[in-house]
Amino acid sequence: MPSVSMTVNGKAVSGEVEGRTLLVEFLRQNLSLTGTHVGCDTSQCGACVVHVNGESAKACTVLALQAEGAEVTTIEGMAQNGTLHPIQAAFKEHHGLQCGFCTPGMVMSAADLLQRNKNPDETEIRDWLEGNICRCTGYHNIVKAIHAAAQAMRG
């Protein structure tokens, strides 16, 4: 069985996988990082979004072996020393979630947006969330939270 090595949330990890093992399966099953969710498993819903080498990707549509040598960040890598990442804090503050299933993907997707565009307007936020589906909130508070996070991160 092939083995794969990568850095996940700053820590070197490796494991044995099949060719067909998905990155999201490796994260959840081998590493027990279950914050990354599998919603649709068809690359549409975005609950599985993680960062691969700094860019957001749907971990259900990446093979674990494609991430060989990559730097991967999951939702578990966002809070630092027990302090929520500003995007997580903003989701909490602005009630950007109800059931929370989509939230890890929303936060990781938003983090990619805010590293490219420090001051997105509402349209840009909504366009960016094209690949993240939420069935509870109606998106309004998610957009509000990302807007507030952008403001907080600009300082």
- Of the listed pieces 7-15, 51-59, 80-88, 135-143, which binds another protein according to CB under 8 A? 51-59
Stretch of 5-13, 50-58, 78-86, 136-144 lying at the interface with another protein (CB under 8 A): 50-58
Q: Using CA atoms, how far apart are residues 85 and 76, in angstroms rounded to an integer?
A: 10
For residue 51, what are the contacts with CB-CB under 8 A and spacing of at least 6? 57, 71, 72, 73, 108, 111, 112
Q: Which of 16, 18, 121, 122 binds another protein (CB under 8 A)?
A: 18
Using the rule CB under 8 A, is 134 a contact of another protein?
no
Size of interface with another protein, in residues (CB under 8 A): 28
Does 30 interact with another protein (rule: CB under 8 A)?
A: no
**Best CA proximity match to 109, nearest among 48, 18, 39:** 48
Among positions 79-108, residues that touch another protein (CB under 8 A) are: none
Q: Does residue 24 interact with another protein by CB under 8 A? A: no
Tell me how far CA of residue 139 lies from CA of 34, 48, 78, 130, in angstroms. 24, 18, 22, 11
User: Quick one: which of 63, 89, 136, 153 contacts another protein (CB under 8 A)?
Assistant: 63
Determine which residue in the list 109, 114, 142, 150 makes contact with another protein, applying CB under 8 A: 109
Give whichever of 76 and 112 is closer to another protein, judged by the CB atom: 112
Q: How far apart, in whole angstroms, are the C-alpha atoms of residue 34 and residue 5?
A: 19
> By C-beta, is 14 or 95 nearer to another protein?
14
Cβ-contact 51, 57 below 8 angstroms: yes
How long, in residues, is the chain?
155
* Residue 77 in tokens: 């890598």
Q: Which residues bind another protein (CB under 8 A)?
A: 2, 18-20, 22, 41-44, 46, 49, 55-58, 61-63, 65-66, 68, 109, 112-113, 128, 130-132
